[in-house]
Chain A
Amino acid sequence: MKHDISLAVRRFIGENFMFRDDGDAITHDASLLDAGIIDSTGVLELVCFLESSFGIEVHDEEMLPENLDSIRAISAYVSRKLESRKIELVA
């Protein structure tokens, strides 16, 4: 599952923010901000993508570099969100 998430995120970033090359060029842990791949409007687009593709809701206070600034961080964040939703549904 986690693998699928990071694959989808990588594809989205490659197609939308890295016009010069594909998403393969970026490492799992690279800071998207430091690499100049994402900017403030880019983060909003990324959040829209995550919300619509994974059916999660990204709260304002979760819009943090810890959650969104690398492919690894995004995948982990989305997995956590999906996990907590599962628990909510069960409860």
Chain B
Amino acid sequence: MTVRVESFLLESARRFPGKTALVAGPARLSYQELAARAASFAAELRRQGVARSDRVVIFLHNSPEAVIAVFGTLLAGGVFSVVNPGTKADKLAYILNHCTAKALVTEPRLAEVASSARESAPAVATTLVTPFNFEQAPAPAQPGIDLDLAMIVYTSGSTGFPKGVTMTHANIAAAATSITTYLDSRAEDIVLSVLPLAFDYGLYQALMCAKVGATLVLEKSFTYPAVVLEKLKSERVTGFPLVPTLAAMLLQMKQLAPGMFPDLRYLTNTAAALPRAHIERLRELFPQAKLYSMYGLTECKRCTYLPPEQLALRPESVGIAIPGTEAYVVDELGQRVAPGTVGELVIRGAHVMQGYWADEEATARVLRPGPYPWEKVLHTGDLFRSDDQGYLYFVGRKDDIIKTRGEKVSPKEIENVLYELPGIREAAVIGVPDPILGEAVKAIVAADDGVTERDIIRHCAARLEDFMVPSSVEFRGQLPKSENGKIARKELVAA
């Protein structure tokens, strides 16, 4: 039997029609309502000429409409891509053109950016703006099979241009099945997510809740932690996904006391490791909740998880391969290495992406021949080692990607923007350790007199998403170079 992702929603609407599927701000939607609104969205897409396998870019803040658009696109047989609402017009236009999107879904608040992007994206035939007032209509019958592409997730590329990770319905179903298995997810779960749906960790909260018939409490952000904590209590939340930045902000709240959230069954963390002190504090505050340390990358959604009972024994480990998949460390020649030896982490499984959209070269670098002639395995670019029991430990990145606030940031993308500012002669961007952000983005520049830190930050803020804007700038007469004249980033990082 094939499983398409929209069937997660349809099946739950059949089993639990009246159950709350989604809570977002004042809105509460039952499974039946969510499915009906997604079907109407699908019918509208078809009416507007969106056909099977056409790309639909969803440029929305976390909202009921964003979830409706995700499932609605799949019900129409289309491919969705959720783009971070902080994205500026140039980058949005790049994405729209890169995947030749047929439709753009947005909201009044973002309309200015959206229409400016659309001016240079001629393939976009239609823009749908919230609130949706579509005629109630059934979804098209038989939108496709599970080998069809379901989504493209744009992620920072080391070249400075975002790369589109392509996932079929079968890829998503495999990842969602594996993750809900180890989390022991169930229909009684109530998951609160403050993560943007553009981030696959956030998106999967919606997909996995639909899969098991659970309730998703979707928040726009973690800007006001006190509001989120109140929601945790009033909605009797059982699952709370975190990244280290959120955990750090949470732990700063002075009114937290052990046992305040008796319904909480589990916490998850990914994107970067939690500091040991934060792990201990979380365990004190949420004594009955299981804490899952996890690790993954968009290219396969999730690689590993640490079974919670192992946390006290190996707090630094990101664990073992998720169920039904394999994760192992190899040397430069692709041979598996002994425990303790550092090498590149390789992932095998049905959750591995199909490749980067329209980028065969980049795809060939990360998807390499596997044990079978027809199989490709994922080379993560992350350096790992394992211990004697096979538990894995993250050592570092092979490239320069910075991880800040749980997001991957390409220094190159920021450097490209810095060089657009008149007076900047040389620029390099590095990550510096930061207790809240994981890494903070720092720009090091050689600039003409008169260029100030504020000029640089102002320039970046107008062109980049918030999390990419440097939080500090260092001025130097010149930057260190390697023998062939390239800026020696390693020296800057070491300094």
Contact = CB atoms under 8 A, between A and B. Distances in A.
A binds B: yes
Interface of A: 15, 19-20, 33-34, 36, 38-44, 59-65, 68
Interface in B436-468: 436-437, 454, 457-462, 466
Nearest to B460: A19
A60 B462 contact: no
A34 B61 CA distance: 10
A65 B227 contact: yes
Contact of A19 (B254, B436, B437, B462): B462
A61 B222 CA distance: 14
A40 B457 contact: no
A81 to B, nearest CB: 16
Interface of B: 86, 109, 220-227, 249, 252-255, 405, 436-437, 454, 457-462, 466
A43 B461 contact: no
A66 B7 CA distance: 40
A19 to B, nearest CB: 3
Contacts, number: 52
A33 to B, nearest CB: 6
Contact of A60 (B222, B253, B458, B459): B253
B457 A63 contact: no
Contacts of A39: 221, 223, 466
Given A59-B254, A60-B254, A61-B255, A38 B223 contact: yes
Contacts of B224: 43, 63-65, 68
Contacts of B222: 40
B462 A41 contact: no
Given A34-B109, A39-B466, A40-B223, A60 B255 contact: yes
B221 A63 contact: no
A43 B249 CA distance: 11
Nearest to A33: B223
Contacts of B227: 64-65
A20 B225 contact: no
A63 B109 CA distance: 24
A28 to B, nearest CB: 19
Contacts of B460: 19
A84 to B, nearest CB: 19
